[in-house]
């Protein structure tokens, strides 16, 4: 391909990145603005919006809810995903494709439809009180497919004779799992934990429909947007979340790269 | 007897992978199971290791019946075809993998691993990552990992198949020496007849799930008991005919257009009138301008030639025989300008004692 100045891809790249990241970078900028409205010119720099967050007990409660919910969903979804992925990759199951398709369905169904449907089922037919538990159940539905996809990709890559070798060397199925399968699947397990935590942590629609007054951070943030004077502190909160997720993503990427060291020889 | 198989049968769906196989392996023996791919040899090995349960028949290892005994509880260890080195462990931990259940101290384990590394001629490799090993090194580590468990039987599934030719020849000798050193019974599966002949004390030749012949390499080569074995081991020429007389311990065979052939010297002779195959190895045939007195002689014309360095094969067209007859000649003398003999009329001669009679 010609690599002159006229190459449209050379312009497309930077423009694309700008559309992607510039709005997100506005967030920390306006969170430092000593004023209520996010517009230029800035009225002066301040950290008071960040300080005010520390005193906001409703926000703290929502954050705690989100962290607890995210961690629980991540662990349960990874366990379910691992079991399902082991079954899918190791055995020839009848109706495997149908089962896989059904589990993956939440990835393509819009979450608003899921939210409404689950709300109707929970309230109308099962008469369950809405709480963090109902949000968690909803999140599990959308996280298990993620976990399963990640773990299946990891498990499909490895040689079934490794498990046979372990049994041949005197270990039963349980010890073989802990000494061979688990360590080999570990990078996938960590990736699954991170992905499902993030998916649950910033999920809004299901949390909005399935939650009660005791709610998660995204729902709390949405509720605060009605009050203009609360906007700057929400921008500050958003900036903190942005920074934290950047660190987590960077860490997980490092971990993933350590996990996929080139494996020579094994497959011929 | 360290291993005894009695009527072992195994099917996968409609495919009968192993059909009524019975044989015994002696203690300390280097035993080969030889056959083309798909003949059931790997299934047989996996039955010994416990990864497959036979549908019928008995497997005894060291006198104990193995029915229902899981792989981890058997006194066997296996070297897998692709070596199955654990990619998340280094060489030391790979070799020490099977030692966990013996609850040894760290020092004892280290000593055993060091000794095993010495045995496979990779001293100081303990700290290497599995990914850093070459094909040959992986094979050695797989061997050490199995041997360190002191199995009663070591099972090897095409252990040299993944190595290049040069390395394979070196490993054949090394494996043989190693087996003598450790004194463990080796059972190995291969499709490479040369590998089986050079390494094994005894070979079971398999085809289509059945054992055809179980014998020493020399017996298999010199006295195959059927056409399949004769054709599979080495190169063999076949002539067809009918027995017309049996003077003394010889058989006179009417081979149609090839004339009268005389075969004899040892073995049971077939009945007069029975259809028979006469099998002769290329190195037992002689090419000459005139028929050799007292030998069987067949006229033909040289149609191709193959040079193998130490010897050459001449392929002779004989009218009435579909396949070309291979005749070997040792290239004992150094000759660069060997005039091609292709197209010349020759006689193929062989002594009556050089041929084998196989019933059809």
Tell me, what's the pLDDT at B167? 84
Inter-chain CB pairs, A–B, below 8 Å? 74
Pick among B49, B85, B88, B130 to test the A interface (most A CBs inside 10 A): B88
Tell me, what's the pLDDT at B48? 94
A 136-165 → B contacts, CB under 8 A:
158-159, 161-162, 164-165
Q: Are residues B164 and B242 in the same domain?
A: no
Chosen domain end from B168, B201, B231: B231
Helix A57-90 vs helix A217-224: angle between axes, to the nearest 10 degrees?
A: 140
Q: Do A168 and B138 count as a contact with CB atoms less than 8 A apart?
A: no
Tell me, what's the pLDDT at B219? 92
Structure tokens at B269: 């002779």
| Total domains in the fold of chain B | 2
Q: Do B82 and A184 count as a contact with CB atoms less than 8 A apart?
A: no
Q: Are residues B320 and B243 in the same domain?
A: yes
Tell me, what's the pLDDT at A263? 42
Q: Are residues B58 and B189 in the same domain?
A: yes
Q: Do B86 and A165 count as a contact with CB atoms less than 8 A apart?
A: yes
**What residue in A sits closest to B146 (Cα-Cα)?**
A169
Residue B295: which CATH number? 2.40.50.140
Q: Do A159 and B70 count as a contact with CB atoms less than 8 A apart?
A: no
Provide the 10 A C-beta neighbour count for residue B316.
26
Residue B99: which CATH number? 3.40.50.300
Structure tokens at B317: 């067209």
Q: How many angstroms separate the CA atoms of A141 and A146, rounded?
A: 10
Q: Are residues B332 and B257 in the same domain?
A: yes
The more confident residue out of B21 and A229 is B21
**What residue in A sits closest to B78 (Cα-Cα)?**
A168
Q: Do A266 and B88 count as a contact with CB atoms less than 8 A apart?
A: no
Q: Are residues B165 and B32 in the same domain?
A: yes
Q: Are residues B189 and B268 in the same domain?
A: no
Q: Are residues B269 and B352 in the same domain?
A: yes
Instruction: Assess B211–A contact: CB distance below 8 Å, yes or no.
Output: no
Q: What is the DSSP string of B41-68?
A: HHHHHHHHHTSS--SEEEEEETTEE-TT
Q: Do B138 and A263 count as a contact with CB atoms less than 8 A apart?
A: no
* B139 within 8 A of B156, measured Cβ to Cβ: no
Structure tokens at B284: 């037992």
What is the enclosing helix (H) or strand (E) of B205? strand B202-207
Q: Which among B84, B88, B133 has CB closest to A159?
A: B84
Q: Are residues B272 and B307 in the same domain?
A: yes
Distances (CA, A) of A194 to A135, A187, B129: 18, 11, 28
Q: Are residues B84 and B203 in the same domain?
A: yes
Q: Are residues B211 and B245 in the same domain?
A: no
Residues in chain A closer than 8 A to B84 (CB atoms) = 159, 161-162, 164-165
**What residue in B sits closest to A173 (Cα-Cα)?**
B72
How does pLDDT run along chain B (360 residues), one tens digit per residue? 899 999 999 999 888 899 999 999 999 999 999 999 889 999 999 999 999 999 999 999 999 999 989 999 999 999 999 899 999 899 999 999 999 888 888 899 999 999 999 888 888 888 899 888 988 899 999 999 999 999 999 999 998 887 888 888 888 888 999 899 889 999 999 998 888 999 999 999 999 999 999 999 999 999 898 888 998 888 899 999 999 988 888 888 988 888 888 888 666 778 888 888 999 999 999 988 888 888 999 999 999 988 888 888 899 999 888 889 999 988 877 766 566 678 889 999 999 889 988 887
End-to-end CA distance of chain B: 34
Residues in chain A closer than 8 A to B87 (CB atoms) = 158, 162, 184, 263, 266
Chosen domain end from B231, B261, B277: B231
Q: What is the pLDDT of residues A196-212, one digit of tens each?
A: 998 888 888 888 888 88
Q: Do B101 and A170 count as a contact with CB atoms less than 8 A apart?
A: yes
Q: What is the pLDDT of residues A239-265, one digit of tens each?
A: 888 888 888 888 877 776 765 544 433
The residues, ordered by sequence, that sit 6+ positions from B128 with a Cβ below 8 Å of its Cβ are B90, B91
Instruction: Assess A57–B contact: CB distance below 8 Å, yes or no.
Output: no
Chosen domain end from B176, B202, B231: B231
Structure tokens at B12: 């996968």
Q: How many angstroms separate the CA atoms of A134 and A119, rounded?
A: 9
Domains of chain A are: 63-217 (1.10.3720.10)
**Dihedral, CA atoms, B79, B83, B87, B90, nearest 10 degrees?**
60
Provide the 10 A C-beta neighbour count for residue A101.
10
Q: How many angstroms separate the CA atoms of B179 and A195, rounded?
A: 51
* B45 within 8 A of B31, measured Cβ to Cβ: no
Q: How many angstroms separate the CA atoms of A163 and B146, rounded?
A: 15
Residue B9 distance to chain A (closest CA, Å): 22
Q: Are residues B263 and B283 in the same domain?
A: yes
A 174-233 → B contacts, CB under 8 A:
179-180, 183-184
Entry pTM: 0.78
Instruction: Assess B82–A contact: CB distance below 8 Å, yes or no.
Output: yes
- ipTM for the complex shown: 0.81
Distances (CA, A) of B87 to A86, B126, B334: 19, 14, 51
Give chain A's largest Cα–Cα span. 72
**Dihedral, CA atoms, A111, A112, A117, A120, nearest 10 degrees?**
130
Give A162's pLDDT tier (boundaries 50, 70, 90). very high
Q: What is the mean pLDDT of the segment spanning A213-230?
A: 84
Q: Are residues B221 and B255 in the same domain?
A: no
Q: What is the pLDDT of residues A44-71, one digit of tens each?
A: 777 777 887 778 788 888 889 899 999 9
**What residue in A sits closest to B97 (Cα-Cα)?**
A169
- What is the residue range of B178's domain? 3-231
Residues in chain B closer than 8 A to A165 (CB atoms) = 78, 80, 84, 86
The more confident residue out of A32 and B3 is B3
Strand partners, B60: B4, B65
* B49 within 8 A of B154, measured Cβ to Cβ: no
């Amino acid at each position: 391909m010609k690599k002159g100045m006229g190459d449209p891809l050379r312009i497309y790249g930077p423009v694309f990145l700008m559309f992607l990241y510039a709005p997100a970078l506005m967030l920390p900028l306006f969170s430092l603005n000593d004023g209520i409205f996010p517009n230029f010119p800035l009225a002066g720099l301040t950290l008071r919006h960040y300080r005010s967050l520390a005193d906001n007990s409703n926000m703290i409660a929502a954050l705690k809810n989100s962290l607890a919910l995210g961690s629980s969903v991540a662990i349960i979804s990874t366990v379910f995903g691992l079991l399902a992925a082991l079954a899918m990759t190791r055995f020839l199951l009848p109706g495997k494709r149908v089962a896989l398709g059904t589990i993956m369905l939440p990835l393509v169904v819009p979450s608003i439809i899921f939210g409404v449907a689950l709300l109707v089922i929970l309230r109308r037919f099962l008469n369950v009180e809405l709480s963090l538990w109902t949000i968690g159940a909803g999140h599990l539905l959308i996280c298990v497919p993620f976990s399963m996809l990640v773990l299946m990709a990891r498990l499909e890559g490895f040689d079934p004779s490794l498990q046979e070798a372990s049994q041949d060397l005197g270990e039963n199925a349980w010890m073989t799992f802990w000494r061979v399968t688990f360590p080999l699947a570990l990078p996938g397990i960590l990736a699954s934990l991170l992905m499902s935590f993030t998916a649950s942590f910033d999920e809004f629609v299901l949390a909005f429909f399935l939650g009660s007054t005791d709610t998660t951070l995204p729902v709390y943030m949405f509720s605060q947007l009605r009050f203009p004077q609360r906007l700057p502190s929400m921008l500050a909160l958003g900036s903190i979340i942005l920074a934290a997720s950047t660190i987590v993503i960077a860490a997980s990427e490092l971990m993933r790269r350590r996990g996929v060291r080139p494996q020579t020889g094994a497959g011929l | 007897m360290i291993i005894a198989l009695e009527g072992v049968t195994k099917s996968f769906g409609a495919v009968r992978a192993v059909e009524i196989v019975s044989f015994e392996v002696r203690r300390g023996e280097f035993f080969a199971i030889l056959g083309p791919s798909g003949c059931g040899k790997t299934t047989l090995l996996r039955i010994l290791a416990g990864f497959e349960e036979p549908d019928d028949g008995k497997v005894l290892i060291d006198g104990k019946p193995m029915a229902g005994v899981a792989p981890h509880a058997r006194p066997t260890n296996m070297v897998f075809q692709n070596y199955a080195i654990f990619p998340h462990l280094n060489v030391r931990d790979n070799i020490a993998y099977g030692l966990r259940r013996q609850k040894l101290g760290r020092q004892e384990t280290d000593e055993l691993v060091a000794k095993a590394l010495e045995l496979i001629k990779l001293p100081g490799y303990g700290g290497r990552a599995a990914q850093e090993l070459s094909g040959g090194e992986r094979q050695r580590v797989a061997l050490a990992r199995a041997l360190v468990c002191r199995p009663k039987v070591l099972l090897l599934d095409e252990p040299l198949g993944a190595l290049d030719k040069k390395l394979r020849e070196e490993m054949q000798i090394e494996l043989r020496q190693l087996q003598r050193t450790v004194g463990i019974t080796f059972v190995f599966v291969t499709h490479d007849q040369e590998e089986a002949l050079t390494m094994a004390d005894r070979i079971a030749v398999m085809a289509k799930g059945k054992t055809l012949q179980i014998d020493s390499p020399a017996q298999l080569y010199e006295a195959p008991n059927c056409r399949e074995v004769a054709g599979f081991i080495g190169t063999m020429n076949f002539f067809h005919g009918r027995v017309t007389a049996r003077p003394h311990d010889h058989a006179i065979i009417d081979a149609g257009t090839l004339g009268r052939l005389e075969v004899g010297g040892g073995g049971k002779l077939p009945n007069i009138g029975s259809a028979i195959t006469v099998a002769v190895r290329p190195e037992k045939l002689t090419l000459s301008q005139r028929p050799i007195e007292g030998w069987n002689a067949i006229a033909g014309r040289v149609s191709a030639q193959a040079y193998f360095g130490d010897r050459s094969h001449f392929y002779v067209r004989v009218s009435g025989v579909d396949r070309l007859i291979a005749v070997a000649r040792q290239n004992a003398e150094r000759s660069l300008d060997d005039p091609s003999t292709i197209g010349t009329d020759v006689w193929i001669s062989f002594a009556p004692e050089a041929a084998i009679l196989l019933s059809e």
